[in-house]
Chain A
């Protein structure tokens, strides 16, 4: 990490960090969704600063745009956006699911069908194990940060010691495809990309299959 981060990068990383923490701590699903969109927006700008504008474009459109709208639509379906952390649910059902309960009567409307007069609240059980696992993962990944090469370092292993990058850069021009990213995606690794498009298509078909069964 030889290159000093510019003030812009520091500010953007700070926004990303703060938005990420705010997303984890938000007590309202709508607030959570909007803050998560801001997280993606800052990340998108950061990609552009790091000279990956195509990733930034995708992050802005998918992360800040489409995902946020999908989450908003999903929140609208839940009937409530308030969440609170409570004791682990002691019902007989599988504990993995979040329970919709009124603030007063936890047992009565636990099946979600009862219309209560008070504002319903989604009760999330406390999971110290999950928090510990998340913190451990962050710590483990953080330990690897000093080993990363600087941004744009020409002696980084991806450029220096690997003949693949040189092959891609040399051969892409021969095909007339000047954008090496596109050349790698379509010309050299078209099989992967074909599978990715198949996955996107499968997502649309899967949603249609699920919705088609629920809407009679």
Chain B
């Protein structure tokens, strides 16, 4: 796979990946955002999105996908994801509760504030996981080049 940089799979593979990827990413986002009411959560949704990135790389070439997604952008996504989690964790401190005590968000007076705080944590986890796995894949695949 030394030609992975410019390699493009057959039209059957690229057309299939083109058609499937939006649904896979949507399913990943759904899994992230519905972690409070149904199966899933940030880890599950994040790895599904990362798997979609890997699928793109196998169809259109690792190098091309890496240029399109961007290692720097992926790393920034991981930072934002961890930051979201940290913001929710420290935010409950600011409201007078304990560290990561999401129950204190109900003091804001917003309906279902705790659920939204948990969803924010899930989105942060998903963003961090998807971005970190993308960074792993992109950077390991170009170590020797």
Compute how far the CA of A175 lies from the CA of B122 in the bound complex, rounded to whole angstroms: 15
- Whether the pair B114, A176 counts as a contact (CB closer than 8 A) is yes
Q: How far is the CB of A74 from chain B (nearest CB, A)?
A: 7
Most B CB within 10 A of own CB, among A66, A69, A196, A214: A69
**Interface positions of A from 127 to 154, Cβ below 8 Å from B:** none
Give A75's nearest chain B residue, CB to CB: B1
- Whether the pair B121, A190 counts as a contact (CB closer than 8 A) is yes
Name the interface size band of chain A: 35 or more
Knowing A200-B129, A204-B75, A207-B136, the reply to whether A186 touches B1 (Cβ < 8 A) is no
- Whether the pair A179, B129 counts as a contact (CB closer than 8 A) is no
Interface flag for B60 (CB, 8 Å): no
- Whether the pair A208, B75 counts as a contact (CB closer than 8 A) is yes
Knowing A61-B51, A176-B112, A193-B125, the reply to whether A204 touches B39 (Cβ < 8 A) is no
- Whether the pair B102, A187 counts as a contact (CB closer than 8 A) is yes
Compute how far the CA of A179 lies from the CA of B81 in the bound complex, rounded to whole angstroms: 22
- Whether the pair B44, A57 counts as a contact (CB closer than 8 A) is yes
Q: How far is the CB of A122 from chain B (nearest CB, A)?
A: 16
Chain A neighbourhood of B44, CB < 8 A: 54, 57-58, 61
Give B45's nearest chain A residue, CB to CB: A57
Give B37's nearest chain A residue, CB to CB: A178
A residues sitting closer than 8 Å to B (CB atoms) are: 53-54, 57-58, 61-62, 65-66, 69-70, 72-74, 76-77, 175-179, 181-183, 185-187, 190-191, 193-194, 196-198, 200-201, 203-205, 207-208, 210-211, 214-215
Taking A182-B35, A207-B135 as given, write out 12 further A-B residue pairs in contact, using a Cβ cutoff of 8 Å, ordered by the A residue number: A58-B43, A61-B50, A66-B137, A176-B115, A185-B41, A186-B41, A186-B121, A190-B89, A190-B102, A193-B85, A208-B139, A211-B143
B residues sitting closer than 8 Å to A (CB atoms) are: 1-2, 4, 31, 35-41, 43-44, 47-48, 50-51, 54-55, 57-58, 62, 71, 74-75, 78-79, 81-82, 85-86, 89, 99-100, 102-103, 112, 114-115, 118, 121-122, 124-125, 128-129, 131-133, 135-137, 139-145
